Amino acid sequence: MKILIIGGYGTIGKSLADHFEQDHEVLVAGRTKGDVRVDIANSKSIQALFDKIGKVDAIICAAGEAKWESFDKLFEEDYYIGFKSKLMGQVNLVRIGQHYLSANGSITLTTGILADDPVIKTASAAMVNGAIHSFVKAVVLEIGNTCRINVVSAGMVEAAYEKYKDYFPGHNPVSMKKVVKGYERSVLGRDNGKIIRIYE
């Protein structure tokens, strides 16, 4: 299987690349480094990526950013960071990438626990994650017969605990092994239109 992993050098993406390359051909795409380059906030960059690599069997997106800040300090432009990158970046990935999937191919997007259990300073990030969940459930009603689309929503992973622990008091860090299994389920299983939650 030929798998494209966008954001393959991030905390989760690197673990995904290490896991899937054991049995599959993996292409890692990143904004500044990788086998191929892509900026998911730019739809022309996404199109250029697929024009270059051609058909794949699975697409995983572990990229995208959103502004973390107190609500009273968020300006309109701050919301557009998450809107253009994590939300529309992944929407455009589905919109364009579907045409470059082999038969029965899959697309796996990434959100996080903030969609269901937000914490302080995440009004923008939680909004974006929730929107992606709704998008996935809706889009499969129209293109569900041509490819599968799921989203993996993980809690705070153990590898990021020290960096984010003050934002998530009382939360149990999730093992990366469990998170990787969520992506494996999406790519190798038959789920479609599912939000695969890994919160414990």
The CB density around residue 11, as the number of other CB atoms within 10 Å, is 15
* Residue 39 token pair: 């900026």
Q: Are the beta carbons of 178 and 156 closer than 8 angstroms?
A: no
pLDDT at 192: 96
Q: Which of 126, 112, 119 is nearest to 169 (CA)?
A: 119
pLDDT at 163: 87
pLDDT at 164: 87
**One pLDDT digit (tens) per residue for the chain, 200 residues:** 999 999 999 999 999 999 999 999 999 999 999 999 999 999 999 999 999 999 999 999 999 999 999 999 999 999 999 999 999 999 999 999 999 999 989 999 999 999 999 999 999 999 999 999 999 999 999 997 789 999 999 999 999 888 888 889 888 899 999 999 999 999 999 999 999 999 99
Summarised one tens digit per residue, pLDDT across range 55-85 is: 999 999 999 999 999 999 999 999 999 999 9
7 Ramachandran zone, left/alpha/beta (phi>0; psi -120 to 50): left
Residue reference for tokens 């990434």: 110
Share of the chain above pLDDT 70, in %: 100
